[in-house]
Amino acid sequence: MTKSKGILNFCDLLCKYAQTPKEEALDGSQSCRTFIALYCTKKKSLVHKNMRCKDKVFKTGKEKK
């Protein structure tokens, strides 16, 4: 786990807590990378993709798919 100090972080799929939403028709998710929402497993809710995030933790090589 790598947490950057002093760097402004944004919510994206590089975070270990971020997933594409499970609901199929939600904002175009699972069809392409133009979706605007991610599911945050830490917050247990949908969040705006590219929203500022103080809790971002980058995925390690083992966590990346």
The residue that leads in pLDDT, 2 or 41, is: 41
18-45 pLDDT, tens digit per residue, is: 998 876 656 555 555 567 888 999 999 9
**pTM passes above 0.85:** no
| pLDDT beyond 60 at 2 | no
Which residue in the block uniquely carries the two structure tokens 């904002």? 27
Distance CA 24, CA 30 (A): 7
Q: Label residue 10 by pLDDT band (50, 70, 90).
A: very high
